[in-house]
Every structure is written in C-alpha cells, then in structure tokens.
Amino acid sequence: MQRKDDKDDKDDKDGKDGDAGKEGRIILVGGGVRSGKSRFAVDYALGLGPRRVFVATAQAFDAEMEDRIDRHRQERGQDFVTVEEPVQLARILREIVDADVVVVDCLTLWLSNLLLAGQSVDDIARAVDEVMAVLSLRRYHTLLVSNEVGMGIVPESALGRIFRDCAGATHQRIVSQADEVYLAAMGLLLRLLPGPVTVVRPQQ
C-alpha cells in the first residue's frame, strides 16, 4: 500500500484503473454484536477490486482483545493490507491512495477511543465531518462498519449515554452522504439504501 506522501499529485487524482471520472461509493454496514456485519463487509469488499485495505480501530487492552484481533487478522489472511489506527481515522484515509476498496472496522470503537482520549462531543462531530470530507474526495470504495447501539436500554452511566448519542449522530451524518446502507439483524442483511428494502443473504 502506498500513501499520498509516497506519490506525486498526479497519482492522487487518478481513480481505479486510471479512470479519474469514477467516484468511490460510501457504504455503511451496521448491526449488533456478532450480527454478521463485519463478515458481510469483508465479503463485499472482495468483489470491489484486488487492492484492498482494512483499517482496524480496535486497541488491545487485554489478552482477550489481543486474541480477538489476531483471530480476525488470520481470517482476512492475505486478502487485505491491514492498517491499525485507533484515533486518526481521517489522516489514514487521506493517506491511502492506491486502493480499490477500504474497510473501516469499526466506527463505534473509533468513537469510544475518541471519548476515552478526552475529546468532547463537538470535537468528535468535527472528526466525523473530517472523515466524510476525506471520503468525498477519494476514488476508492469505503465500507464503514458500525454497531447499532441505540436500540437497547438507556445506559446507566453518563459516559455510556454520551457514547450512544455520538454513535447515533455519527450514523445520521454518514447516511446523509452514503450511497448504500445495510443493517445486519437476525443473521440476515437488510439493504436499506438504495430502496426498496431488500434482504441480502450472507455468503455461507
């Protein structure tokens, strides 16, 4: 994977297969924990071109999380170049210039990282806007994986409620610009955008 500072300005203007007229799609894939959203995003990305980047936002704070990250990396195998970035998401997306498709997994972990780093709600909203501004100029397709956290009980802690609200606001911001939106539920994927709503069965 080359990044913007490794290439000249001409390369940054080129699109997939040298077609500067093609624009990358922004695809939001949401759902609950273990709903199949990440697997769907990875499988979808495999069909969007051979140059694939996986941006992982998770941080390994304990052994269980380390094992989980290693397992996911092994599952992806050689199909993706993996970049780990828990906070500076817009910067990483800006630097990627020679990919056909980028998977970001996941947005809610990124939001959590920002909150734990002491960023305010307004800071996070600006960070989301920066990410979307970057994606509007990229030629690669982007699949953004996120957890739908607003359908359960009201979180007990203030931080939990702030996180829930940030996630909901982020999803609304992304949907305003997204080309496709999918929701994973009950082992199936629902395509919400573009309509009509359609059931998409995950690959077995």
What angle (nearest 5°) sits at the alpha carbon of residue 38, between those of residues 37 and 43?
Answer: 100
Residue 127 lies in a domain: yes
For residues 142-156, one letter each, b for 16 or more C-beta atoms within 10 angstroms of the residue's C-beta and e for the rest, the string is bbbbbbbbeeeeeee
Reported as a single tens digit per residue, the pLDDT across 17-46 is 333 446 899 999 999 988 999 999 999 999
Integer Cα distance of 61 and 80 in angstroms: 24
Match 């495999």 to its residue by tokens.
Answer: 46
| Backbone conformation region of residue 34, classed left if phi is above 0, alpha if psi is from -120 to 50, else beta | left
Distances in Å between the alpha carbon of 195 and those of 25, 156, 181, 190, 192? Answer: 16, 36, 10, 10, 6
CB-side neighbour CA atoms (13 Å) of 183: 14
The per-residue pLDDT for 74 is: 67
CATH code of residue 75 = 3.40.50.300
Residue 3 lies in a domain: no
For residues 170-186, one letter each, b for 16 or more C-beta atoms within 10 angstroms of the residue's C-beta and e for the rest, the string is bbeebeeebebbbbbee
Residue 15 lies in a domain: no
Integer Cα distance of 155 and 115 in angstroms: 15
The per-residue pLDDT for 61 is: 65
Its sign, for the CA torsion 170, 90, 83, 121, is: negative
Residue 195 lies in a domain: no
Residue 89 lies in a domain: yes
Whether 72 sits among the annotated catalytic residues: the reply is: yes
Residue 46 lies in a domain: yes
Amino acid at residue number 148: E
In this prediction the pTM is 0.84
Reported as a single tens digit per residue, the pLDDT across 160-193 is 999 999 999 999 999 999 999 999 998 899 999 9
Residue 203 lies in a domain: no
Residue 201 lies in a domain: no
pLDDT-wise least confident of 35-49, 60-74, 77-91, 139-153: 60-74
Number of domains in the chain: 1
Name the residue range of residue 132's domain. 21-190
Catalytic pick from 39, 51, 72, 73? 72
Beta-bridge partners for 55: 83, 104
